[in-house]
Amino acid sequence: MKIHQLKILPEHFDPVFQGIKTSEVRYNDRQFQVGDVLELKEWIPDRFTGSKLWRTVLHVADLNDFKEGYVLLSMRPSFSYEIRTTD
């Protein structure tokens, strides 16, 4: 199991935080595996906001037929706490 620290834009972060978005398309440069943890760090164009989420990868779907090198990660909450900051 690996922990992957990933940037995520606010328009994607909020639906994940709310539990509406349970999957993520990513370039597979990190060789994602089932059981890995995604530390999703909210990013605005020049900095991190301080908001973070942790999600466990449940399934990795290869998207090579659509976009070479990309995968669809199905995920669920990893921990009982999350950090959401407000500016």
Q: For the whole model, what pTM was predicted?
A: 0.89
**Per-residue pLDDT, 85:** 73
The structural domains of the chain, with segments of one domain joined by +, span: 3-77
Q: What is the pLDDT of residue 81?
A: 63
Each residue's pLDDT expressed in tens, for the chain with a length of 87 residues: 999 999 999 999 999 999 999 999 999 999 999 999 999 999 998 999 999 999 999 999 999 999 999 999 999 998 766 677 766
pLDDT for the residue numbered 84: 76
Assess contact for 83 and 48: CB atoms under 8 A.
Answer: no
Contact (Cβ atoms closer than 8 angstroms) between residue 75 and residue 57: yes
Measure Cα distances from 43 to 10, 50, 68, 73 in Å. Answer: 7, 8, 25, 19
CATH class as words, domain 3-77: mainly beta
Cα(60)–Cα(34) distance, integer angstroms: 7
Token pair belonging to 10: 């606010």
